[in-house]
Amino acid sequence: MPDINIETIKAALGVDIQKAGSLEELEELRIKYLGRKGLLAQLTSSIPALPPQQRPGFGQAANALKNKINSLLEEKSKSLASVKGEVVFASTVDIGLPGIAQDLGRLHPITQVVDEICAVFTNMGFSIVEGPEIETEHNNFTGLNIPLEHPSRDAFDTFYLKSTKTSGERLLLRSHTSPVQVRVMKARKPPLAVVVPGRVYRPDATDAAHSFMFHQVEGLVVDKNIRFSDLKGALEFFAKSVFGQDIKMRFRPHFFPFTEPSVEVDISCIICKGKGCSVCGRKGWLEVLGAGMVHPNVFKNVGYDTKKYTGFAFGMGVERIAMLKYGIDDIRLFFENDLRFLNQF
């Protein structure tokens, strides 16, 4: 006969359970009593040695003991857990194994930035509109007060399209999103508040800072009492929403043919916080958008009454904003679509 029997186990169990002060200690007890080489296993391993007539009775008693141990352990573990406020789980898993993959794709960083910019303005009550990428010379230039043979056009080098027709206006790939201003104003009467995201094209040789295709977001507000101060406030709200509450801003006079007065908007460099670094060209400022009060000639071209209405417009390059926001140093990365790049956003 082994020197362990049901009674000694019972006695020891009572003491052990009492003493156990943590779930870990309780787990040790479980192994001590119910483990593969535990006390109960040792007990049952003695069954074959018993006389046949004693075996069923002993077996039942051992089983009852096992149940008792289990219930005592469970009870104790519940009381311990309730002290710690933890839920007790039935089984464990090797959490070191890879998780069962739930694929998550990602929107392109440009789409994410476009959406973020548009959301700032839709929160202010703007509507999103879009326009075609193939445009007329009128909408892209003359309608916007950019005369065809004028130095102001130098900033807007343009891809023209081969036409199979002999008559009609020359068609081109829009070099900015501003032609949508002309379209919207021709189609609707004020009040207007729209943002226009989209692809634009300029024949620039590709390098780290230039791409012949890029994205812009344009904005236009027209109503009876739209003031330059409204432009400043709306753009401050935009810049702080996108770049953070702490940035500083400055509004510099500038020239755009389709706005008067015109302004370029700088934010304090988000990399060096205005101290001067290579990103901001040691100036401490980053130019993020151009804007201005809609030029009366633009209103005249779409048949708006310049005595009645005023408005402001703005435009920004999405790639530039994304590059600043995420610290990307090469515009080509956006169009290479390397998954190791895309998966970072």
Interactions with another protein, residue window 93-122 (CB under 8 A): 97-101, 103-108, 110-111, 115
Selected from 254, 274, 277, 284, the binder of another protein by CB under 8 A is 254
Binding of residue 302 to another protein (CB under 8 A): no
Nearest to 307 by CA among 229, 225, 233, 235: 225
Selected from 205, 246, 278, 303, the binder of another protein by CB under 8 A is 205
| CA–CA distance, 114 with 126 (Å, rounded to integer) | 14
Per-residue CA distances from 76 to 41, 65, 80, 83 (Å): 22, 16, 6, 11
Selected from 154, 245, 278, 303, the binder of another protein by CB under 8 A is 154
Selected from 25, 116, 133, 137, the binder of another protein by CB under 8 A is 133
Binding of residue 85 to another protein (CB under 8 A): no
Binding of residue 226 to another protein (CB under 8 A): yes
Structure tokens at 32: 């001590």
Q: Which is nearer to another protein, 226 or 289 (CB)?
A: 226
Per-residue CA distances from 317 to 32, 40, 247, 288, 331 (Å): 69, 75, 19, 8, 12
Binding of residue 159 to another protein (CB under 8 A): yes
Q: Which residues ranging from 170 to 199 are in contact with another protein (CB under 8 A)? A: 171, 173, 191, 193, 199
Whether 342 and 326 have beta carbons less than 8 Å apart is answered as: no
Q: Which residues ranging from 29 to 58 are in contact with another protein (CB under 8 A)? A: none
Quote the DSSP letter at residue 344. T
| CA–CA distance, 292 with 311 (Å, rounded to integer) | 9
DSSP assignment string, 244-287: -TT--EEEEEEEETTEEEEEEEEEE-TTTTTS--TTTTTSSEEE
Selected from 56, 57, 203, 244, the binder of another protein by CB under 8 A is 203
Q: Side chain identity at 345, as an amino acid letter?
A: F
Binding of residue 225 to another protein (CB under 8 A): yes
Neighbours of 161 (CB within 10 A): 11
Burial label, 269 (beta-carbon count in 10 A; 0-12, 13-18, 19+): buried
Binding of residue 255 to another protein (CB under 8 A): yes
Q: Which is nearer to another protein, 150 or 186 (CB)?
A: 150
Selected from 23, 119, 128, 271, the binder of another protein by CB under 8 A is 128
Bond from prior residue into 179 cis (ω within 30 degrees of 0): no
Selected from 9, 217, 234, 331, the binder of another protein by CB under 8 A is 234
Choose one: 6-14, 29-37, 53-61, 155-163; the region binding another protein (CB under 8 A). Answer: 155-163
Smallest gap from residue 277 Cβ to another protein (A): 16
Q: Which is nearer to another protein, 49 or 101 (CB)?
A: 101
Selected from 174, 176, 183, 295, the binder of another protein by CB under 8 A is 295
| CA–CA distance, 15 with 327 (Å, rounded to integer) | 64
| CA–CA distance, 345 with 334 (Å, rounded to integer) | 12
Binding of residue 250 to another protein (CB under 8 A): yes
Choose one: 35-43, 71-79, 158-166, 320-328; the region binding another protein (CB under 8 A). Answer: 158-166
Selected from 12, 17, 72, 213, the binder of another protein by CB under 8 A is 213
Binding of residue 240 to another protein (CB under 8 A): no
